[in-house]
């Protein structure tokens, strides 16, 4: 069983919702990332989404755009990101890591080479935001050969027919984008998310994570009540940005925020 | 040959496709469907034709530049005068088509990206005419160097939104327009200015721009009784070039030359010539040639002309390059500037700096041909918008 499947199986047995923090690798500087990931796990992260910096993050709001720019200013390449994962794996062999980003850095490395190196580093899942399943079958095949899960987005605009099509090829979990917008957008309508989740669950057994727009304990709690996993990205990255000048403070502050979300999520679980 | 492309998924060979976030997949499917119906609807086509005739001023003439041809001492140079269109460039051809489609789809809000501002002005113009709300995204750097067009857009009632992310030029304006689109996708139509982006944009914009080549082919035949020996057009994203080339693709004796911006020179790294010096990758919804580093990060481009200052290129051009149906060359800022002055002084036509790249290459090509041969150049836009850039350079040069 993959680390992602094992993680959700354990949580399901305990009726708990997964907490998935997103951070951009190398933000605000490369040596912060691995200790930060360990802190996030210690404060309640079940799975980690690690952003691969990209020069043109079209689906991201300003907070994650700037995180990418800070990381790229330090020359954080895909190779460097994989090295961070390998380093993390030296002392954590259970927490799943999902790489999230845009297709071009993977295309530049070559899909087969990327999949092999990602497997070796200890990557469990890959989510490319600019690549719906029909656009990246070649990548999906390479990942499958290395037993890495291809994770796909579903959106408020995704039709029922597309949900069926996407969940057929999705592995690990599906990620529901809770609003029409970029990462870190403002509005979140719990009732409409709940309705869409029912539609998704009618078509797949895969766990359903919800992200985009979860910014505090209240929104995390509301989503935890209806989702299998809650993803928090921009709100966390904004806290990292706040102490970009004092990087030694980052694990403490980011960890405290995550602990707050953990408590909120657990309070919504039965 | 590639006249039948793209395939149903928007592929030109291995290029093109639909690489966007899931949220946009259904809206793009709706656009594809609406366009597929519209392009076969006689009423839509008649409305488009009428607008092109009475509002844009089509057909634009072709002009035999006899004096310049004599000076260069080789082939005869002919210009397709897209600079004479309403709003001063070829961009209006596609802006009108897309705006009519937006109206047909019941959209009330138009967004666009712009580099030189020509596409922004064309979009603001058609939005004003159709009473649609209009927001144009433009990089900070471009806003500074294309002020007259910023003022025109604002005068036309559009909001010009300054983009300060990344390199603050055309690619970043496109990123920001995509972000806006995904946020307000229900009421918003994104009018893309070039033959790039997710399918169906490269096909749709090409179809609307192909009026240039259809007219030119018929006009040239009428005027000379034969086809030109070569076509020359500048290539940023490549909309004016594909518009001219496409109706000639099956005419295999007609050589096609796309001219990219070599900026300070291809060896300098300061240029915008992905077909000459880039490699295939994925950006802005399609697979195509890109300017990128070894890690797959898109790198900053440089060109004297804002409209060519873009790290990608339309996927059909990538296909035409690989199949060798078209040849892609590059000319520097200095060569383009020289051509700008040359056409202005020899023919009394002030070209856009973008189009000046095509003129520069045609000036190199002409002496290699005989006076019995002919080159048809797409004069894609007029140079009024570039006065400040050219004047500043002249002052710098003392």
Give the pLDDT of residue B396. Answer: 81
Contact B294 A108 (CB under 8 A): yes
Helix axis angle, B387-396 to B147-155, nearest 10° = 160
Instruction: Give which of B150, B138, B139, B57 is closest to B385, Cα–Cα.
Output: B150
Instruction: Tell me which DSSP letter residue B382 carries.
Output: B
CATH fold for the domain made of B11-51+91-205: Rossmann fold (3.40.50)
Instruction: Give which of B252, B349, B345, B375 is closest to B1, Cα–Cα.
Output: B252
Run of H or E including A199:
helix A190-201
How are strands ordered across the β-sheet holding B109-114? B159-163, B133-139, B109-114, B188-190
Domain ranges of chain B: 11-51+91-205, 58-88+210-396
Distance of CA A134 to the CA centre of its chain: 21
Contact A130 B21 (CB under 8 A): yes
Give the pLDDT of residue B1. Answer: 44
CA distance B147 to chain A (A): 26
What percent of chain B is predicted at pLDDT more than 70?
A: 99
Residue B317 has pLDDT above 90, yes or no: yes
Query: Cα angle vertex A208, ends A204, A209, to 5°?
Result: 160
CA distance B389 to chain A (A): 28
Contact A158 B22 (CB under 8 A): yes
Give residues with Cβ within 8 angstroms of A246, minimum separation 6: none
Taking only the tens place, the pLDDT of each residue in A24-48 is 999 999 999 999 999 999 999 999 9
Taking only the tens place, the pLDDT of each residue in B193-249 is 999 999 999 999 999 999 999 999 999 999 999 999 999 999 999 999 999 999 999
Contact B282 A104 (CB under 8 A): yes
> How many angstroms separate the CA atoms of B344 and B338, rounded?
10
Contact A155 B297 (CB under 8 A): no
CA distance B18 to chain A (A): 6
Do domains B11-51+91-205 and B58-88+210-396 share one topology? The answer is yes
Contact A106 B296 (CB under 8 A): yes
A27, A46, A60, A124: the active-site residue: A60
Question: Which residue among B20, B281, B297 places its CB closest to the CB of A72?
Answer: B297
> Looking at chain B, which residue has its C-alpha nearest residue A157?
B23
> Looking at chain A, which residue has its C-alpha nearest residue B293?
A108
Residue A125 has pLDDT above 60, yes or no: yes
A49, A124, A149, A228: the active-site residue: A49
CATH number at residue A124: 3.20.20.70
Q: Which CATH architecture has domain B58-88+210-396?
A: 3-Layer(aba) Sandwich (3.40)
Count the neighbouring beta carbons within 10 Å of the beta carbon of residue B221: 12
Residue B383 has pLDDT above 80, yes or no: yes
Instruction: Name chain A contacts of B23, Cβ cutoff 8 Å.
Output: 153, 155-158, 177, 180-181
Contact B292 A108 (CB under 8 A): yes
Question: Which residue among A56, A134, A182 places its CB closest to the CB of B298?
Answer: A56
> How many angstroms separate the CA atoms of A68 and A127, rounded?
16
Instruction: Tell me which DSSP letter residue A74 carries.
Output: T
CA distance B120 to chain A (A): 20
Residue A255 is part of which domain span? 3-268
> How many angstroms separate the CA atoms of B136 and B138, rounded?
6
How many CA atoms, within 13 angstroms, populate the side-chain half-sphere of residue B15?
Answer: 28
CA distance B103 to chain A (A): 21
Count of structural domains, chain A? 1
Contact B22 A156 (CB under 8 A): no
Contact B18 A134 (CB under 8 A): yes
Question: Which residue among B182, B295, B296 places its CB closest to the CB of A182?
Answer: B182
- End-to-end Cα distance, chain A: 26
Question: Which residue among A105, A106, A153 places its CB closest to the CB of B22?
Answer: A153
Give the pLDDT of residue B167. Answer: 86
Instruction: Give which of A164, A173, A195, A182 is closest to A18, Cα–Cα.
Output: A173
CA distances from B18 to A63, A101, B14, B244, B322 (A): 26, 16, 12, 25, 20
Run of H or E including A18:
strand A18-24
Give the pLDDT of residue B398. Answer: 63
Strand segments (E) across B24-157: 62-64, 76-81, 109-114, 133-139
Catalytic residues of B: 91, 113, 380
Give the pLDDT band (50/70/90) at residue A269: low
Contact B281 A59 (CB under 8 A): no
Query: Cα angle vertex A149, ends A147, A154, to 5°?
Result: 160
Radius of gyration over every alpha carbon of chain B, rounded to an integer in angstroms: 19
What percent of chain A is predicted at pLDDT more than 90?
A: 91
Give the pLDDT band (50/70/90) at residue B166: confident
Residue B360 has pLDDT above 90, yes or no: yes
How many CA atoms, within 13 angstroms, populate the side-chain half-sphere of residue A144?
Answer: 9
Average pLDDT over residues A145-167: 97
Q: What SS3 state is found at A24? A: strand
Q: Which residues pair with A210 in a beta bridge?
A: A176, A230
Exposure b/e, B107-120, CB count within 10 A at least 16 = b? bebbbbbbbbbbbb
Give the pLDDT of residue B256. Answer: 98
Give residues with Cβ within 8 angstroms of B328, minimum separation 6: B235, B257, B258, B259, B260, B275, B276, B317, B321
Residue A60 appears among annotated catalytic residues: yes
Instruction: Give which of B45, B46, B129, B43 is closest to B86, Cα–Cα.
Output: B129
Ramachandran angles phi, psi of B249, nearest 5°: -60, -35
Run of H or E including B290:
strand B285-290
Give residue ranges of B with CB < 8 Å to any A CB: 9, 17-27, 165-166, 171-172, 175, 178-179, 182-186, 280-285, 290, 292, 294-299
B76-81 vs B62-64, strand pairing mode: antiparallel
Biggest distance spanned by C-alpha atoms of chain A? 48
> Looking at chain A, which residue has its C-alpha nearest residue B311?
A56
Run of H or E including A51:
strand A48-51
Instruction: Name chain A contacts of B26, Cβ cutoff 8 Å.
Output: 155, 157-159, 162
Instruction: Name chain B contacts of A181, Cβ cutoff 8 Å.
Output: 23, 182-183
Taking only the tens place, the pLDDT of each residue in B1-43 is 445 899 999 999 999 999 999 999 999 999 999 999 999 999 9
CA distance A107 to chain B (A): 7
Give the pLDDT of residue A45. Answer: 98
């Amino acid at each position: 069983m993959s680390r992602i499947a094992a993680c959700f199986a354990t949580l399901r047995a305990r009726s708990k919702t997964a907490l998935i923090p997103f951070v951009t690798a190398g933000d605000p500087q490369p040596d912060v990332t691995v200790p930060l990931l360990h802190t996030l796990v210690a404060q309640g992260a079940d799975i980690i989404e690690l952003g691969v910096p990209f020069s043109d993050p079209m689906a991201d709001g300003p907070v994650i755009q700037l995180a990418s720019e800070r990381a790229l200013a330090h020359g954080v390449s895909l190779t460097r990101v994989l090295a961070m994962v390998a380093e993390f794996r030296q002392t954590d062999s259970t927490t799943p890591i999902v790489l999230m980003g845009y297709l071009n850095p993977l295309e530049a490395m070559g899909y087969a080479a990327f999949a092999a190196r990602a497997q070796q580093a200890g990557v469990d899942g890959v989510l490319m935001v600019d690549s719906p399943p029909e656009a990246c079958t070649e990548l999906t095949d390479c990942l499958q050969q290395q037993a890495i899960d291809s994770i796909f987005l579903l959106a408020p605009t995704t039709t029922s027919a597309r949900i069926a099509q996407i969940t057929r090829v999705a592995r690990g979990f599906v990620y529901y984008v809770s609003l029409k917008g970029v990462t870190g957008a403002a509005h979140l309508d719990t009732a409409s998310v709940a309705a869409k989740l029912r539609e998704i669950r009618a078509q797949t057994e895969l766990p359903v994570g919800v992200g985009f727009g979860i910014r505090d304990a209240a929104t995390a709690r509301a989503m935890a009540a209806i989702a299998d996993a809650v993803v928090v990205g921009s709100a966390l990255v904004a806290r990292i940005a706040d102490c970009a000048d004092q990087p030694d403070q980052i694990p403490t502050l980011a960890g405290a925020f995550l602990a707050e979300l953990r408590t909120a999520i657990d309070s919504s679980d039965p | 040959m590639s006249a039948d492309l793209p395939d149903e998924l928007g592929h030109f060979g291995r290029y093109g496709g639909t690489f966007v976030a899931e949220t946009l997949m259904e809206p793009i499917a709706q656009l594809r469907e609406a366009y597929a119906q519209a392009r076969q609807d006689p009423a839509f086509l008649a409305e488009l034709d009428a607008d092109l005739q009475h509002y844009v001023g089509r057909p634009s003439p072709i002009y035999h530049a006899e004096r310049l041809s004599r000076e260069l001492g080789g082939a005869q140079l002919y210009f397709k005068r897209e600079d004479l269109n309403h709003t001063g460039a070829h961009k209006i051809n596609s802006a009108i088509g897309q705006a009519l489609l937006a109206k047909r789809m019941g959209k009330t809000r138009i967004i666009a990206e712009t580099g030189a501002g020509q596409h922004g002005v064309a979009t603001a113009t058609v939005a004003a005419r159709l009473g649609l709300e209009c927001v144009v995204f433009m990089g900070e750097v471009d806003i500074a160097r294309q002020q007259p067009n910023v003022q025109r857009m604002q005068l036309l009632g559009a909001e010009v939104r300054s983009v300060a992310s990344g390199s603050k030029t055309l690619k970043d304006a496109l990123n920001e327009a995509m972000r806006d689109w995904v946020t307000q996708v229900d009421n918003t139509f994104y009018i893309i200015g070039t033959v790039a982006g997710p399918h169906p944009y490269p096909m749709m914009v090409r179809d609307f721009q192909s009026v240039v080549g259809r007219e030119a082919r018929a006009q040239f035949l009428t005027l000379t009784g034969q086809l030109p020996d070569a076509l020359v057009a500048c290539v940023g994203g490549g909309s004016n070039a594909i518009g001219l080339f496409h109706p000639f693709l099956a005419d295999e004796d007609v050589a096609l030359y796309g001219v990219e911006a070599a900026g300070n020179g291809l060896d300098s790294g300061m240029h915008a010539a992905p077909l000459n010096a880039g490699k295939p990758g994925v950006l802005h919804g399609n697979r195509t040639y890109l300017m990128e580093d070894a890690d797959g990060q898109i790198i900053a481009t440089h060109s004297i002309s804002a409209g060519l200052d873009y790290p990608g290129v339309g996927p059909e051009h990538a296909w035409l390059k690989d199949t060798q149906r078209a040849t892609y060359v590059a000319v520097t800022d200095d060569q383009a500037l020289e051509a700008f002055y040359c056409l202005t002084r020899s023919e009394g036509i002030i070209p856009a700096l973008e189009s000046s790249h095509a003129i520069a290459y045609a000036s190199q090509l002409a002496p290699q041909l005989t006076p019995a041969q002919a080159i048809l150049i797409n004069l894609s836009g007029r140079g009024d918008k570039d006065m400040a850039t050219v004047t500043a350079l002249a002052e710098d040069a003392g």
